[in-house]
Amino acid sequence: MPHPLLPDLTTLASATAERHGFEMVSVQVLTHLQPMTLQIQIRCSNGEDVSLDDCAGFSAPMGEAIEGSSLLTEAYVLEISSPGIGDRLQSDRDFQTFRSYPVDVVYTDGNGHEQRQSGTLLERTADHVQINMRGRVKRIPRDSVISVELTSPTG
């Protein structure tokens, strides 16, 4: 069950990121950690790579925005990062950026069973996710895809 403040925190993070030249990719609230951890992933609006300095520089204004909003009343740790290996592809931009990268696709087959296929990402269309599996093209219906995650080239 998502944290009840996640929608408000996502809206706040998105607006704050935009004001500082970033796009907010994802927000997670990890309540099982003490203190609670708020993880925010960003990317540069201009398409450049996010540097460690970018993450560090965004931490202060994001922290100030959270404090100013009074959304979180308990102690928390703020972590700012950028998408990378092991992260899920979500937006059309992700699928374009990581074309030809190795991915794992988790999906449900025609019988409702969860399946996993590994290959090189070819494209995501309105209807399918296509991967190259050692020279064979696998088309997976988009509505059956649960997740697409980047993997390391060595598996």
Whether 74 maps to a domain, the answer reads: yes
pLDDT cut 70: percent of the chain above it: 95
Predicted confidence band at 84 (pLDDT cuts at 50, 70, 90)? Answer: low
- Rounded to the nearest integer, the mean pLDDT of the chain is 89
Q: Do both 101 and 41 map to the same domain?
A: no
Whether 86 maps to a domain, the answer reads: no
Please give the C-alpha separations between residue 142 and each of 21, 26, 45, 94, 105, in angstroms, as whole numbers.
31, 21, 27, 15, 11
Q: Which of 81, 108, 133 is the last residue of a domain?
A: 81
Whether 1 maps to a domain, the answer reads: no
Predicted confidence band at 91 (pLDDT cuts at 50, 70, 90)? Answer: confident
Q: Beta-carbon neighbour count of residue 106 at 10 Å?
A: 16
Whether 87 maps to a domain, the answer reads: no
pLDDT (tens digit per residue) in 97-150:
889 989 999 999 888 889 999 999 999 999 999 999 999 999 999 999 999 988
**Which residue's entry shows tokens 């740790």?**
77
Predicted confidence band at 85 (pLDDT cuts at 50, 70, 90)? Answer: low
Predicted confidence band at 155 (pLDDT cuts at 50, 70, 90)? Answer: very low
* Residue 66 and residue 72 in contact, taking contact as beta carbons nearer than 8 Å: yes
